[in-house]
Structures are given as C-alpha cells and as structure tokens.
Chain A
Amino acid sequence: MEWRRKHVLGLADFSTEEIEFVIDTARSMEDVLTRDIKKVPALRGKTVVNLFFEASTRTRTSFEIAGKRLSADMVNFSSAVSSVEKGETLLDTARNIDSMKPSIIVIRHPASGAAHFLSRYVSCSVINAGDGSNEHPTQGLLDLYSVLKAKDKVKGLKITIIGDILHSRVVRSSLHSFGRMGADLWLCGPASLVPREMGRSGATITYDIREAVRDADVVMMLRIQLERQKTAFFPSLREYARKYGLNSEIFSLAKKDAVIMHPGPINRGVELSDELADSAHSIILNQVESGVAIRMALLYLLAGGHNAAH
C-alpha cells in the first residue's frame, strides 16, 4: 500500500491495512537494530521535536533513540506546564516550534485531543505520544507487534486488559490495534474504573479477575494511575492488590503459554507481583524493544522515507 497519512493521532481511524503496514515496516526497522552499527541515514537533515507536557522517560527516550537510529536531529522540549488551563500556551508553543520547520512534532499532553488540536494548526507532521485519557497509538502498535512476535497471530486470542480502564489511553489504543486483528478482548478492573459503556467497544467487561484471566493468551496489566485520581476510585492499594493484582495463583488460570504485558512503569506488588514481572511469561521488556522499532517505522513513514525509497 501507499502511505498517505500525515499525522498519527490515534488508531481509531487506522485501517487494518495501515496497521499491518506499520508492523511490516517495523520488522524491517528491527533488522537495523540487530546490526552492529544501529544507524541508517534515512532521516538525515530532518528534525523531530519531542514536545512533552507530561513527565515521561521511556516514551520520550524511545522516540529519541528511534529518531537517532534514523539519523534525524532530535530536539527535546519538555515543559513543566501540566495545567490544561494553559490552552493558549499549547497553541503558541506549537506554532513557535512549527516556525522552526521541524519535520515531525511528537507530542505528549495531559489533555485528551491535544494532538488532534495541534495537527490543525501546524504545518509539520504530528505524532501523538499520549493525550490525556484518549490514545497512545504508538503503544497500541507496539503492544500488537509484541504479541505478534510472541504468538505469531492475534486473531482469536483471548487478550485481557486489567486495571484502570477509565483513565487509560493505552486501552483506548490497544482496543483498536488488537480489535482490528480479531482478538477476543476482555476488560477487567474495579467497577468504578471500568465504565459500563466501554462494552460498546466490542470488548467483554468483567469485574472478576478470575473470569478475565481464565484461558487468556495475553494478560496486560495497567498501571494504577494514582496521579490521575482526584478522589479515590477504590478503598486502598492493599485491597486493590488483593482483588485486582495479578499473582501466580490467578495467572495459573490462564493458558500455559500465556504472556504477561505491562506498558510500564510497574507498581511491583500492586497490579503485578514481583515474581510474575520477572518470570519467563513476561514480555514486558520485549514491549520496550518493539517500541523503538514501531517508532522508527512511524518516523520513517511520516518523514516520507517510504515514498523517497521508491
């Protein structure tokens, strides 16, 4: 297929073909990562700005490494401003950066829709690196890629996502990436964090972790995001860990070859027991590795590398 997309704002409007195309491109990027010299000149002379309005280490670093492996000039712009009240600041900041003629802006912002908003006012490409509770499309793609590497296919797999569904942008992207590929999706967590309307996504909703994990092929645990909760959605971390934490006993209900995922950072002993996090079932570090390849693929495609190559 021919890549026509200028921005990557969310997976909601990605076609199955586009998702597969990104995955295929990521596979060829992965070849680069296995070389001794992990750098190609594909994006030489292109500037990519990491515009982060929220604290992030791994996503920002992952984009930075991805860009550098493609020889792009990477610029990091981190703002301590986390207040969504500063709307004008976002627009002004973005326009200022756009005036410096980057090829791509990678944005993370606490407001849902911030990347969509930005894309309407800048001339360069925009990649959403997480906007509020909306989407985290590169995470959704790398999760899919990781499962494909572990399981070869996604169709028909029981994939369970457990935790703070309400606030999770990872879920809102993964529902699309796994969903397009025909996974049997399950969402689980305390009822106060799993809105019943989420059933309209096509996923099965349960508040019972045993039911969610039983015969699952993939169990993805979400970080309990205490920082996003103004008032408590559940009584205590202790009770949460007891009712919705994944431990060996619960995990034994899953298929024998089931894998454990987590978008990180992990609260060890809360949503995921220490032993499972480091077990052979965990593909958490593979996710991080896949992340670089996926982000290389998207930077490459958006910077016109694909079209240039032909």
Chain B
Amino acid sequence: MLLIKEGRVIDPESGRDEWGSIVVADGKVADFLPNGEAPKRFDGTVIDAAGKWVLPGLIDMHVHLRDPGFEWKEDIRTGTAAAASGGFASVVCMANTNPVNDHPEVTRYIREKAASQGTANVFPVAAVTRGLEGKEMTDFAELQEAGAVAFSDDGRPVRSALILRRALEYAKAFDLLLMEHAEDHELSEGGAANEGWTAHRLGIPPIPSAAEEIAIARDILLARFTGGRIHIQHISTKMGVDLLRMGKRAGVRVTGETAPHYFTLTDAAIEGYNTHAKMNPPLRGEEDRMAILEGIVDGTIDVIASDHAPHDEYTKRCEFIAASNGIIGLETALPLSMGLLAGGKVTPARLVELMSAAPARILGLKEKGSLRKGADADITIVDPETEWEFGESDVRSKSRNTPFFGWKMRGRAVAVLCHGRITHSLLKGIAPVA
C-alpha cells in the first residue's frame, strides 16, 4: 500500500485536474481522495506531494536502448535508469539493434531483460522489414505475440511505397501500428544538416526539408488508401505538421510525434560544427520550430517523444559530416517540454496528454496513461517549480551526447512509480526500490 498525499492530480484521460491523494495497492491505482479526505493514519509508504503534480506515468514512445548489440552506448538497465530519472515509467524501444528486432527471440530477449534488470516498462518495437532492409515484411503476428507493440524501421524509412502499402494492409487484420521514420533517402543522401543558411554558410552538405515532407505525404496517402494506421515519427518541419493536420482532417488514421529538440533548438545550434546538435532529421529553421510549437498547441502533434539516441563519445568527436546522428533525451525531455508551459498556450493537462495519455492510446496500452481506478500504478510526480542546471552528474545513460549540458531547467520529476514500485526518487525519506 502506498499513498501519494495531496498533490495536484492531472489526468486528462479521466478529465481530472484537482488536488487530492492517490492510493496505490497491488500495483494498481486503488482510489482517488480529494484534499482533506486523505486518511490521517496510513499503513504503508506515504509520499507527501504537497505542491507537486501527480501524473500518469510518462511514456517515451521513441527510444533507442541499443540492447542487444551496442551495449557500450546503452543497455536496458542503464537506459531504463535514465528513463526513470527523467520521469518516465515506460519506454518504447526501436528495432535498430544488432541483431535487429525482427525476430520474436529478440523481442523476448528485450522483454525478459527489462523485466529482470529494468526500472521502467519496456515496450519493444519490431522492424517492419527483415534486417531493416526494406525488402521483406517481418512476421507481424508472431512478433506481436512476443510483445512488440508497434512496427518501425526507424533510423531509416521503408523506402518502397509498395512494401509500405503491403505492410499497412497486412497490419490491419491485427490492428497493428506502423511507425515511420519519414525520409526520402535520395533527397537526403550525403546530407548532414538542414538545408538553409547555416549549412550553406558552414559548407555542410544539406538535407532539404522536402526529404521529410515528401515521405510524410507518401505515408499519409498510403494510410488513407489502405485504411491502415500510421504514426509519423520525429516530425521536424513546418510542412510536415501541415501535412499531418491535413491528413487528420481528411480522416486518415494518422498520428504524429515530435521531439523536444525540434521545438527547442534550430539549426543555429550546429554553429562551430557542434556534433552534439547533429541528428536525423536535422534541426531545422525558426519557421519550422514555430510550426512545431503551433502543432503542439492546436493538437495536430499527438506526442512528444525524446528520440533518445545514445552514442559513444568518439563517434561524436570527429568531423561534423562523419559524426553519428542523435542525442540522448530521456533526462531532458520532460524539463524541456515543461518549457512549453511558460507561454500558457500549453496547459499541464495537455502536456500529460502529449507525454502519457496519447502514447498509451496510440500504442493500445490500455492500463497505461491514466490514473483512473484500476489502471496500472505508473505514476510520475513532478516538482513544477524546482530550478536546476542539467549537468553530467544528472546523466544515468551510458552516453553523454547532448547539447543541453549547462541549460537551466525549470521543473523535474521527483519520483516515479512503475506498477506501484518506486523506480526514482529525489524526495527525502523515499528511496527507490532496488
């Protein structure tokens, strides 16, 4: 038994935003008690949530755990430690491991290791095509039975429109979600930064925004034609947001995510050939950044996900064009996203929607993303006021590839519960369960 006492409970799924207490029993949400009704005596752990937000456990639906195969960059233990520390109860991990998660054995390996060593729920994404090669579909149904929650060749797109069409159609029978890394490879090939003034000035081979936009348009059109369900990953461009909006208006079963860096930074961050600002899709221009913000505010963008992409130092300590793509994000996603609240256009409830309720809904995780009675007791407790500076000592990930060291943050996850188990705590007297 555990009592989270008198915090601001924000649960858009049940329409709740009020001060009160949550009772946790047997790994489930057992009750909600409005302020004043919390029991005076409680036989169990009491977490004082005064002044804190109590949220359904955050879900990061775009993470690279690098396990199996690249354990020197990250593994399931350290990746989930970073997740918990960043406020996440669940992570959804991409299939570009080695071996690729294109076989039920790999899916099972991930789930079993997560169960024994993890401090967050781990939901594996399986590859759409074997070896991520874009040629043959993987065994969707078998992978789903093994625990895959969605399918994506993330890191690269499904290049062939025909293969994607087939996959969308085939997936319908099992109500599977396809997630697409939208990129026209021919247009982007050789590029290393957004095509714009900064890249041209620095002489960096450019990646046009059209490379993403064309692929998003293709993906939406194929979802429309087949009636399949598609989720567009890490949207970074203005037209990408516009296309998603258009697709939704047309009734296409399409959802979309962006990552905190796309609404926080622009390609100006690559100045000085900063490889810690190199990712794919690349950081875009200010107009794109503003459009992403607008898409978040008006509901076009469904989800904020980190695209946590750990890389060892030497693959970033080199010439810009040779550097690996991606940054770690699990420990900065929440505080950077809380930056959206400052203008008042994004409410705390909307933020919970973006980082918990919507991912749960899109992925079909019925017991997640909500604090209704009977839901899994995945709970994130946030101190919205605390001001802190993100530094190396905050990092639980094995990798350090982030452009955000030294950034002043406001707001932080101070405790996380996963099935009622405390996986992260900065609170006095409350220790995470080993």
Residues of A participating in the B interface, judged by any CB pair closer than 8 Å: 12, 84-88, 90-91, 109, 111-114, 116-117, 131-135, 166, 169, 172, 195, 197-198, 200-201, 230
B193 and chain A: residue at smallest CB distance: A112
Would you call B429 an interface residue if the criterion is a C-beta within 8 Å of the partner chain's C-beta atoms? no
A-contacting 9-mer, from B85-93, B200-208, B232-240: B200-208
The answer to whether the Cβ of B407 comes within 8 Å of any Cβ in the partner chain is: no
Given known pairs A112-B203, A134-B203, the reply for A117 and B196 (CB within 8 Å) is: no
CA distance A230 to B320 in the complex (A): 19
With A12-B201, A87-B323 already in contact, 10 other A-B pairs whose C-beta atoms are closer than 8 Å: A91-B318, A111-B320, A112-B204, A112-B273, A113-B204, A114-B319, A134-B202, A172-B203, A195-B195, A200-B201
* A-B CB proximity, top 5 nearest: A87-B318, A113-B273, A133-B203, A134-B203, A111-B319
Q: Are A116 and B200 in contact (CB under 8 A)?
A: no
Complex contact B273–A87 (CB within 8 A): no
A88 touches B203 (CB 8 A): no
CB–CB A198/B273 < 8 A: no
Complex interface: chain A residues within 8 A of B204 (CB): 112-113, 132-134
> Which residue among B201, B317, B318 has the maximum number of chain A CB atoms within 10 Å of its CB?
B318
Residues of B with C-beta under 8 A to A200: 197, 201
Q: Hey, which chain B residues are within 8 Å of A91, CB to CB? A: 317-318
Pairwise interchain contact B319-A87, C-beta atoms closer than 8 A: yes
- B154–chain A nearest beta-carbon distance, Å: 22
Q: For the complex, is B221 an interface residue (Cβ under 8 Å from A)?
A: no
- Judged by a CB distance under 8 angstroms, whether B322 is at the interface is yes
Known: A112-B273, A200-B197, A230-B190. A84 touches B203 (CB 8 A): no
What residues on A are CB-neighbors of B272 within 8 Å? 116
CB-CB nearest in chain B for A116: B273
Q: How far is the CB of B193 from chain A (nearest CB, A)?
A: 10
Residues in chain B within 8 A of chain A (CB atoms): 189-190, 195-197, 200-206, 272-273, 314-315, 317-323
Q: Complex Cα distance A113/B202, Å?
A: 8
Closest Cβ–Cβ distance, residue B272 to chain A (whole Å) = 7
Among B189, B196, B203, B314, point to the contact of A132 (Cβ < 8 A): B203
For this complex, 9 residue pairs linking A to B, each with C-beta atoms less than 8 Å apart, are A87-B315, A109-B319, A113-B204, A113-B320, A116-B273, A135-B203, A172-B201, A195-B195, A200-B201
Bound Cα distance from A10 to B387, whole angstroms: 39
Looking at B205, B319, B322, which has the most chain A CB atoms within 10 Å of its CB?
B319
Inter-chain contact A201/B318, CB cutoff 8 Å? no
A198 engages B319 (CB within 8 Å): no
The residue from A112, A135, A197 contacting B321, defined by CB atoms under 8 A apart: A112
Considering the chains assembled together, what is the distance between the CA atoms of A113 and B203 in angstroms?
Answer: 8
| Bound Cα distance from A244 to B252, whole angstroms | 48
Q: Which B residues are CB-close (under 8 A) to A132?
A: 203-204, 321
In the complex, what residues of B have CB within 8 A of residue A85's CB? 322
CA distance A130 to B261 in the complex (A): 32
Shortest CB distance A114–B (Å): 5
> B residues within 8 A CB of A201?
201
B190 — nearest CB in chain A belongs to which residue? A230
- A117-B318 contact, Cβ under 8 Å, with A112-B273, A197-B196, A197-B197: yes
A84-B319 CB under 8 A given contacts A112-B203, A135-B203, A169-B203: yes
Report whether B320 and A90 are in contact in the complex, using a CB–CB cutoff of 8 Å: no
Interchain CA distance A88-B162 in the complex, whole Å = 39
| B197/A84 in contact, CB under 8 A | no
Interfacial chain B residues near A169, Cβ < 8 Å: 203
- Chain B residues near A109: list those with CB within 8 A: 319
A134 CA to B196 CA, complexed, in Å? 14
Most buried by B among A85, A86, A109, A117: A117
- B356 → chain A closest CB, angstroms: 39
In the assembled complex, which residues on chain A have CB atoms less than 8 Å from the CB atom of B200?
166, 195, 197-198
Min CB distance, B157 to chain A, in Å?
Answer: 19
B322 interface neighbour in A84, A133, A195, A230, Cβ under 8 Å? A84
A165 to chain B, nearest CB (A): 9
Most A CB contacts (10 A, CB to CB) among B195, B203, B320 go to B203
Q: Which residue of B lies closest to A117 (CB)?
A: B319
Cα A131 to Cα B201 in complex, Å, equals 13
Q: Which residues of B contact A166 (CB under 8 A)?
A: 200
**Which B residues touch A87, using CB under 8 A?**
315, 317-319, 322-323
CA distance A86 to B321 in the complex (A): 11
Q: Which residues of A contact B320 (CB under 8 A)?
A: 111-113, 117
Measured CB to CB, the nearest residue on chain B to A197 is B197
Q: In the bound complex, what is the Cα–Cα distance between A72 and B314 (angstroms)?
A: 34
The residue in chain B whose Cβ has the minimal distance to the Cβ of A12 is B201
Q: How far is the CA of A12 from the CA of B314 in the complex (A)?
A: 27
Contacts of A90 in B (CB 8 A): 318-319
Question: Which A residues are in CB contact (< 8 Å) with B323?
Answer: 87
* B287–chain A nearest beta-carbon distance, Å: 13
Kindly list chain A residues whose C-beta atoms are within 8 Å of the C-beta of B195. Answer: 195, 197
